[in-house]
Chain A
Amino acid sequence: MTDARRFHTTRWSLVAAASSGEGAQARAALEELCAAYWYPLYAFQRRRGSGADEASDFVQGFFAALLEKGYVGQADKERGRFRSFLMTALRHFASKEWAKARALKRGGGQVHLSLDFEDGERRYQLEPEGGLGAEALFERRWALTLLDRTLARLAEEHRSGSPAKAERFEALRPFLAGAGEVPYRDVGLQLGISETAVKVAVHRLRARYRDLLRDEIAQTVSDEAQVDEEIRRLMDALRGAS
């Protein structure tokens, strides 16, 4: 039960449990989380009207403040979920600290995460124009980043195996989200296995995917019980994006 063990030391629960600025492990975990979920923040800031350079400076500045000053200690109420914590902290940062931090930054040596803002900007350019508010965009992006990471992990697991395994993964991937366009039989023919075998493979893939997704979400909440709730909230965010 690796998953169960992981749960007690998920990154966010680790971060949230440590008091501010304490514990190298907690800090590393926070850094990891920030590196993983920076893009929704970037998109949020861009949507709020910042230019590309300013937004990347802002995100860096925010993470620097987060990692150095231990904002975590100040956001007790929002400890439940990393996502809402980030949003609260970001608002606080934007209103109070940003000007200060920017002035300091010119002074020199700060934490610097290596984030690919150029790629971020390319992705932002693909965001649909208008319609979505900054916060809605943030939540939507968050959900998509989460799925992105989960699928990447799943893909990684399969690609690290034999080429046949990778091919099978590619063929079965459409079935993750429910019945695909292509009938099982056709996929079976393509992969040279029986229809039943396809069903079994899909089932296994889905089960693995589900574990990974829950694990990924668990990294950002402090309690396993919150995973389902978080999923529902994100689903609502996607659904409400109309």
Chain B
Amino acid sequence: MTDPNTPQSPEDRPQAPTGDEEAARLLEVGLSDSGTSRKTPPPSPQEMGEHFPDLEILEVLGQGGMGVVYKARQRKLDRLVALKVLPRDLGGDPAFAERFAREARTLARLRHAHIVGVYEFGESDGLYFLLMEFVDGVTLRELMSTGELNAREALAIVPQICDALQYAHDEGVVHRDIKPENVLLDRAGQVKVADFGLAKMAQRGPADFTLTGTDQVMGTWQYMAPEQYKTPQDVDHRADIFSLGVVFYEMLTGELPVGRFANPSEAPDLDARIDEIVMRALERERDMRYQNAGDLTTDIEHMASGSKPFDPEKPATAGMAQQRLRKLRHRRWWHDRKERPLSRWASWSFWLLPAGAFLAWMVYLLVYDTSDHARGYHATKAGLFTAIGIGTLATLCAFLGIRATKGRDRPVHGLRLSVVCLCLAAFGTVTCIAAYFQEKNQHARMLRWQAERRLPKRSLVDHPRVQGTDDTVLEHEVRKGVREAWGRLRLVAAVRDLTLDHAESADIYDPADLRALRVLANSDAKEYERRLAANELGMGFVRAASLSSALRMYRIESIQLDRSQRQATVTAYGTAVYEGARFRIPRLAFFMKRADTGWVFVVDKVRIEDGR
């Protein structure tokens, strides 16, 4: 074999394929499963008749990679049927029988005016077969090859295919191999789509079979959606829409949309609006295509009804009423006639957002309005978080909405949704800000009210320094300091009156506290010992206090201010309740010292006065 490695001279090169389409076809011949490789003559009707005693097999209708189709007569019912016998080698696959039964059952369920019905399926002598409705007519391929198919007819055929596809897709069946060979037209001009789901049944590439694929070298890759050969495991109904787009294009122009193909409207007698429809069906990205077959029908009808080049007078087929119904079903109020429906998430988020916002707002109002100050504060916080949450969600949805419709020629719907979402987000934010200020305002008003009632002249906030301020103000500050320090105060206060006996009988102290009490009760104890004991006891009391809020009330009897030392001596008494026993806290005096942050209680300056 010679090998022309040397650079070829230009004269040698007229061999080179001229167009991309031809080149692609030349390449396709090389595929291992292309038509050239299988050319065994089908078994004759007589041979086949031996396997099917109930049928009178009349003739071979066609042969393809997916088996042979015979025209036959069911003897009992005396009706014509099409018998499709699948290749014998398929039976060799042990999983096939199960898959075949499952798929065939699904197909048998499909009952539609434009789908070739499956009457029966099964296995006979190792041959898997399907008994189908016999369509007396031609395939779309045959019709196209006569060259007599005009645009008007094409526009009448495509909606019928769409109808069949929409029905099947609704039933969860994807055809996977839409091509002119699989579209039949009966004598009345009714379209019938054949071979639904057979590609899946055989789990082969669709290039493998055709219903009537008599010597069809041209396989079906031209009709396959890009995802079908790129990611065959991830194919959905939109692949059918692409294939239908190819068929549509071919019907209109007589050519396949391969390479840099012309717009369909460049063919004579075609409206420019058809371009958009065909091109959208032919989008390589499936998200950009028509998302369901019904939309394609809608667009075609819309174009045809308002256009001059096309005669709006179309044969009233049985499918038309259904189409109208579906159109009504698909058109909701937010669907502008020209707009496409959004993907599912957008539709529900559309409802979710206002509902969520409303709910949050109601909760907020309920909690806020019926609450006192503290609960109002929490409600504000809750409202804030809700608003931020909704705002974020809304912004996210808006962003996704814009993204989902980005690149489309009419992103109106996404924009509209985005605007709604942004409005909601803005509403949430404004609400939250308003609530915050309202709350803050109220708090400030309350403070002012308190200050005014107790301190007729000035509020505390205005007087950070001790020097030069009114006694009343300072006293007020001290009171505040006492309140804050009370947690520690109460224990020291308790010491004086709770005698050891009392404490032991009440059995309220732990051993360490008892020890401290003993030190305090001992008059011989040194000063520092007493102080230490007092502190120790304090810790215990704090524990006890924190457990059951032992201290119930106190009262400040007097406050003596010492400006020079920035100190105050406070005399107070109160009661404490601990484990059911009530204790009186005797009079005590202690120092409050002015620190930068306010008045603080100075532990080691506590004097326990004799209250008796």
Q: Is the CB of A235 within 8 A of B16?
A: no
Q: Is the CB of B217 within 8 A of A206?
A: yes
Question: Which of these, A115, A160, A179, A203, contacts B39 with CB under 8 Å?
Answer: A203
Instruction: Enumerate A128-186 residues with CB–CB distance to B below 8 Å.
Output: 128, 131, 140, 143-144, 146-149, 151-153, 155-157, 160, 173, 176-179
Instruction: Enumerate B31-80 residues with CB–CB distance to A below 8 Å.
Output: 31-34, 36-37, 39
Known contacts A206-B217, A239-B259; A147/B5 CB under 8 A: no
Question: Which of these, A143, A149, A242, contacts B4 with CB under 8 Å?
Answer: A149
Cα of A119 to Cα of B31 in the assembled complex, Å: 31
Q: Is the CB of A147 within 8 A of B36?
A: no
A53 within 8 A of B: no
Q: Is the CB of B36 within 8 A of A210?
A: yes
Q: Is the CB of A210 within 8 A of B30?
A: yes
A86 within 8 A of B: no
A209 within 8 A of B: yes
Cα of A115 to Cα of B7 in the assembled complex, Å: 7
Question: Which of these, A131, A203, A239, contacts B24 with CB under 8 Å?
Answer: A239
Known contacts A178-B25, A206-B217; A213/B261 CB under 8 A: no
A193 within 8 A of B: no
Cα of A114 to Cα of B217 in the assembled complex, Å: 39
B597 within 8 A of A: no
A36 within 8 A of B: yes
A108 within 8 A of B: no
Known contacts A148-B13, A148-B15, A235-B221; A217/B30 CB under 8 A: yes
Cα of A214 to Cα of B226 in the assembled complex, Å: 23
A94 within 8 A of B: no
B308 within 8 A of A: no
> In terms of DSSP, what is the predominant structure of the interface of chain A?
helix
Smallest CB separation, B5 vs chain A (Å): 5
Q: Is the CB of B10 within 8 A of A239?
A: no
Q: Is the CB of B36 within 8 A of A206?
A: yes
Cα of A22 to Cα of B284 in the assembled complex, Å: 44
Q: Is the CB of A147 within 8 A of B26?
A: yes
> In terms of DSSP, what is the predominant structure of the interface of chain B?
loop
B20 within 8 A of A: yes
For B284, the closest partner residue in chain A by CB is A240
Q: Is the CB of B29 within 8 A of A235?
A: no
Q: Is the CB of B30 within 8 A of A213?
A: yes
Query: Which residues of the partner chain A approach B259 to less than 8 Å between Cβ atoms?
Result: 238-239, 241-242
Query: Which residues of the partner chain A approach B25 to less than 8 Å between Cβ atoms?
Result: 177-178
Cα of A234 to Cα of B221 in the assembled complex, Å: 12
Q: Is the CB of B4 within 8 A of A153?
A: yes
Question: Which of these, A119, A148, A153, contacts B3 with CB under 8 Å?
Answer: A153
For B36, the closest partner residue in chain A by CB is A206
B12 within 8 A of A: yes
A127 within 8 A of B: no
B22 within 8 A of A: yes
Q: Is the CB of B36 within 8 A of A241?
A: no
Query: Which residues of the partner chain B approach A151 to less than 8 Å between Cβ atoms?
Result: 15-17, 26
Q: Is the CB of B7 within 8 A of A116?
A: yes
Q: Is the CB of A235 within 8 A of B15?
A: no
Cα of A227 to Cα of B33 in the assembled complex, Å: 12
A32 within 8 A of B: yes
For B33, the closest partner residue in chain A by CB is A228
Cα of A173 to Cα of B21 in the assembled complex, Å: 16
Smallest CB separation, B147 vs chain A (Å): 13
Known contacts A152-B15, A241-B260; A147/B23 CB under 8 A: yes
A122 within 8 A of B: yes
**Which of B5, B26, B34, B39 gathers most chain A CB within 10 Å?**
B26
**Which of A213, A234, A235 gathers most chain B CB within 10 Å?**
A235
Query: Which residues of the partner chain A approach B34 to less than 8 Å between Cβ atoms?
Result: 210
Known contacts A148-B15, A177-B17, A228-B32; A238/B7 CB under 8 A: no
Cα of A156 to Cα of B34 in the assembled complex, Å: 24
A189 within 8 A of B: no
Question: Which of these, A131, A207, A209, contacts B260 with CB under 8 Å?
Answer: A131
A91 within 8 A of B: no
Known contacts A119-B7, A206-B217; A231/B28 CB under 8 A: yes
Smallest CB separation, A158 vs chain B (Å): 11
Question: Which of these, B3, B13, B26, B258, contacts A239 with CB under 8 Å?
Answer: B258
Smallest CB separation, B8 vs chain A (Å): 6
A232 within 8 A of B: yes
Question: Which of these, A122, A152, A206, A227, contacts B8 with CB under 8 Å?
Answer: A152
Smallest CB separation, B141 vs chain A (Å): 11
Q: Is the CB of B36 within 8 A of A177?
A: no
For B29, the closest partner residue in chain A by CB is A210
A191 within 8 A of B: no
Cα of A128 to Cα of B5 in the assembled complex, Å: 26
Give 14 CB contacts A-B under 8 Å.
A128-B260, A144-B17, A147-B27, A176-B29, A203-B39, A206-B36, A209-B29, A210-B36, A213-B27, A217-B30, A238-B21, A238-B258, A238-B259, A241-B259
Taking Cβ atoms with an 8 Å cutoff, the residues of B that contact A are 1-10, 12-13, 15-17, 20-34, 36-37, 39, 217-218, 221, 226, 229-230, 257-261, 284
Taking Cβ atoms with an 8 Å cutoff, the residues of A that contact B are 2, 32, 35-36, 114-116, 119, 122, 128, 131, 140, 143-144, 146-149, 151-153, 155-157, 160, 173, 176-179, 203, 206-207, 209-210, 213-214, 217, 227-228, 231-232, 234-236, 238-242
Extra pairs beyond A2-B1, A235-B24, A242-B258 (20, CB < 8 Å): A35-B7, A36-B5, A143-B27, A147-B26, A147-B27, A148-B13, A148-B15, A152-B4, A153-B2, A178-B218, A203-B36, A203-B39, A210-B34, A210-B37, A231-B30, A232-B31, A236-B226, A236-B230, A242-B259, A242-B260
